A and B are shown apart, each in its own frame.
Chain A
Amino acid sequence: MTAEWQIFAAVFAVGAASYAMRTAGFLAADALPQDGLWPRFLRLAPGNLFVAFAAAGIFEGGWVSLVGCLGAAATMRATQREWAALGTGFALVALAAIVDALMRARL
């Protein structure tokens, strides 16, 4: 499969999964348990997945990514504006990348 077809396959496979999640709860509402471990698990999953994603990303990106993540999260907490958090994270990572490049050049 060429790279282009892989991309389209990914778009439609992830898209189908995304739409399935949007409709499955509505279609299976009567069959889903309303309390107990299952609905709790569904509600708690996103936050833990986000943390795992951030941790793995910081592990890979190093201190530059850590600075960006902390800046984005702090800005979101302070402003409740996603665009402000994205802008802050972007700017901090650009600055940290400059500092990182300067530090490497001196070594």
Chain B
Amino acid sequence: MVMTMTTTAPASAFTAAAFRRGFLGALPFIASNGIAGIAMGVAYRGLGLDFIPAVLFSLVVYSATAQAVTLGLWALPLPIGAMVAACIAINARYLVMGAHLRQLFPDVSRRVMLPVLFFLADASWLMTTAEAERGRRDAGYLLGASLPMAIGWIGGTAFGHALPLKPHGPLAVAAAFLPLAFVAALLPTQWRGRRSLLPWGVSAAVAIAVASAVGQGWAVLVGGVAGTLVSAMGGDDG
């Protein structure tokens, strides 16, 4: 992820016009997030989750990666501590995005921004950053761009869960694979060329070693942290 942090910001605002502009610009995400949400809904159904908890997951957590990892850790009794730790680690990037948004919108009150940040997504942050670089700093744009993404994701999850599908045999295997597919699909977006080879190799090797010793939950955290340390210590500037 490459970003430019500016320290001198002109006055920022929250306007209806920017909200409308952001909403219209992000409308295609209703379809793309909707399809991904359907896949998540099918996966929740395959897991045996009822409709309400399935939709609540997408509404309350609202993070495809955190939800996919949570699904990957699913076992009764639920390892809630490991799920929370994994969510924090996976969503650590939001700390950087949030700090950047504070620089973009220093004049918008917390009372306005905190509810807006509930809907923050990678794509809406990128769109808002691009909009700001064009000289239009407006938190209304962030909310407008975020809403279609949330509508697609949450609506898609509900629709996917409600579909009259009862996967059996190979389709059941494929449905169980969906959380892993989410993460695999994101890998190319994180690839940083040859710089990624060593840390990713370390992440994978440590994760497999830990998975074979103590299970998948800790494998993700321990492997991911080991690889990240190798990246960061190796001078990768992110």
Contacts and interface: CB of A to CB of B under 8 A. Distances in A.
Whether A and B are associated in the same complex: the answer reads yes
Contacts of A83: 32, 35-36, 39
Interface residues of A, number: 78
A68 B180 contact: yes
Interface stretch (B19-27, B89-97, B128-136): B89-97
Contact of B78 (A7, A17, A23): A7
Nearest to B39: A86
B19 to A, nearest CB: 19
A68 B181 contact: yes
B190 A91 contact: no
A10 B185 contact: no
Contact of B93 (A46, A55, A56): A46
B118 A94 contact: no
Contact of A47 (B98, B182, B187): B187
Contacts of B94: 21-22, 24-25
A40 B98 contact: no
Q: For chain B, what secondary structure do more than half of its interface residues adopt (helix, strand, loop), or is it mixed?
A: helix
B224 A45 contact: yes
Interface string A42-53: 111111111111
Nearest to B105: A26
Q: For chain A, what secondary structure do more than half of its interface residues adopt (helix, strand, loop), or is it mixed?
A: helix
A81 B91 contact: no
Contact of B97 (A13, A25, A59): A25
A23 B114 contact: yes
B170 interface: yes
B118 to A, nearest CB: 6
Interface of B: 1, 5, 32, 35-36, 39, 49, 53, 56-57, 60-63, 65-70, 72, 76-78, 80, 83-84, 86-103, 110, 113-114, 117-118, 120, 169-171, 173-175, 177-192, 196, 199-200, 203-208, 210-212, 216, 219-229, 231-232, 236-238
9 contacts: A8-B56, A17-B84, A17-B88, A18-B60, A26-B102, A60-B211, A69-B180, A72-B184, A73-B185
Interface of A: 1, 3-4, 6-15, 17-30, 32, 34, 37, 39-61, 64-65, 68-70, 72-73, 75-77, 81-83, 85-87, 89-91, 93-95, 97-98, 101
Given A17-B84, A101-B169, 5 more contacts: A7-B53, A14-B84, A26-B102, A27-B98, A89-B185
